[in-house]
């Protein structure tokens, strides 16, 4: 399969063969599994204090022929406080149904949240997501506006790695025919519900992804444009390539990144 190599001004610089990297069958089931495995590793374990509700002197008074026994009295047989405690005398504690008692089934810190996936399966899923970036139907189905894009995959010469300003990255994207895509990714809205109070007030769209083999300033420069991300090939993961476990993100490759991936494949 032949692909065009474009310059940073959008002009064609040549062609290259990309037979292996973009020829995989798109396996949405593997992509979803790999995505969920990556997301599970970001989950922070949480749990309640193991001693919560148990810091009390309350104990069971169920013995017969005992001064403080609850036998033959109209009193539920639960651990109770006794002694010189005034109004708290014989107050139930410790058990879940008692006031200030422990929780019945609290979340536990030792719970394992992460999901396992075989290394070969993850590699297969990653290559499948890479192949989806070269399919116009899949990319368009994800919601990207690619009317101005001539062909996929989009491969740009290695000068793209040296861009150091957001204005230069924006100029590059416009030269590649992504004016409508930038308008779409810049659109954001306030989240509905409680999330506004929990540090995620705004919902933003995912725009183009730039993949390079070496970062010479492009990663930081791309942060200044809403929805645009840049990442090194060595750091590529499913959450960036297939956000939401849906393949087909609009992706721009540097020429050396494609060559490195061909060799690794």
Considering only CA atoms, which of 246, 245, 204, 248 is closest in space to residue 228?
204
Question: Does residue 207 contact residue 224 with C-beta atoms inside 8 Å?
Answer: no
Question: Does residue 159 contact residue 8 with C-beta atoms inside 8 Å?
Answer: yes
Q: Please report how many Cα atoms fall inside a 13 Å half-sphere around the Cα of residue 180, on the Cβ side.
A: 9
* Integer angstrom CA distances of residue 261 from 6, 46, 105: 18, 38, 48
pLDDT band at residue 189 using 50, 70 and 90 as cut-offs: very high
Architecture of domain 2-29+117-264: 3-Layer(aba) Sandwich (3.40)
Considering only CA atoms, which of 19, 29, 32, 11 is closest in space to residue 153?
19
pLDDT band at residue 202 using 50, 70 and 90 as cut-offs: very high
Per-residue model confidence (pLDDT) at position 265: 64
In sequence order, what are the residues at sequence separation of 6 or more whose Cβ sits closer than 8 angstroms to the Cβ of residue 75? 90
Per-residue model confidence (pLDDT) at position 171: 96
CA 3/CA 16 separation, integer angstroms: 6
Question: Can you give the residue ranges of every domain in the chain?
Answer: 2-29+117-264, 44-112
SS3 45: coil
- Is the pLDDT score of 219 beyond 90? yes
Percent of the chain as helix, strand, coil, to the nearest 5: 35, 15, 55
- Is the pLDDT score of 156 beyond 80? yes
Q: Which residue has the higher pLDDT, 68 or 226?
A: 226
- Is the pLDDT score of 1 beyond 90? no
- Is the pLDDT score of 212 beyond 70? yes
State the alpha helices, DSSP H only, in the chain: 28-41, 119-132, 136-141, 166-175, 179-186, 218-222, 238-241, 255-264
Question: Does residue 183 contact residue 174 with C-beta atoms inside 8 Å?
Answer: no
Phi, psi of 208 (to 5 degrees): -65, 150
Q: Please report how many Cα atoms fall inside a 13 Å half-sphere around the Cα of residue 205, on the Cβ side.
A: 17
Tell me the mean pLDDT in the region 116-143: 95
Bridge partners (DSSP) listed for residue 92: 80
pLDDT tens profile 23-72: 899 999 999 999 999 999 999 999 999 999 999 999 988 888 877 788 88
CB environment 78-104: b (16+ within 10 A), e (fewer): bbbbeeeeeeeeebbbbbeebeebbee
Per-residue model confidence (pLDDT) at position 192: 95
Bridge partners (DSSP) listed for residue 14: 5
Q: Which residue has the higher pLDDT, 17 or 93?
A: 93
CA 134/CA 235 separation, integer angstroms: 20
Residues of the chain with pLDDT > 90, as a percent, come to: 80
Please provide the average confidence, as pLDDT, over all residues in the chain.
92
Q: What is this structure's pTM?
A: 0.84
């Amino acid at each position: 399969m032949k692909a065009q190599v474009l310059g940073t001004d959008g002009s064609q610089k040549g062609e290259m063969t990309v037979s292996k990297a973009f020829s995989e069958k798109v396996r949405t089931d593997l992509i979803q599994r790999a995505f969920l495995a990556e997301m599970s590793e970001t989950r922070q374990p949480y749990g309640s204090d193991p001693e919560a509700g148990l810091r009390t002197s309350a104990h069971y008074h169920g013995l017969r022929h005992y001064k403080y026994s609850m036998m033959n009295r109209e009193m539920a047989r639960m651990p109770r406080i006794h002694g010189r405690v005034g109004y708290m005398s014989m107050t139930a504690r410790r058990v879940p149904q008692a006031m200030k008692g422990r929780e019945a089934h609290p979340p536990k810190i030792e719970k394992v949240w992460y999901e396992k996936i075989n290394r070969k399966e993850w590699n297969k899923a990653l290559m499948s997501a890479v192949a989806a970036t070269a399919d116009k139907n899949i990319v368009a189905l994800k919601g990207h506006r690619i009317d101005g894009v001539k062909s996929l995959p989009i491969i740009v010469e290695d000068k793209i790695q040296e861009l150091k300003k957001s204005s230069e990255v924006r100029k590059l994207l416009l030269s590649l025919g992504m004016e409508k895509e930038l308008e779409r990714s810049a659109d954001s809205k306030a989240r509905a519900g409680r999330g506004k109070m929990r540090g995620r007030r705004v919902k933003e769209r995912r725009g183009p992804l730039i993949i390079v083999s070496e970062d010479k300033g492009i990663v930081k420069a791309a942060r200044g444009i809403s929805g645009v991300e840049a990442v090194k090939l060595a750091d590529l993961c499913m959450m960036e390539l297939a956000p939401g476990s849906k393949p087909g993100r609009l992706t721009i490759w540097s020429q050396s990144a494609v060559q490195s991936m061909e060799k690794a494949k």
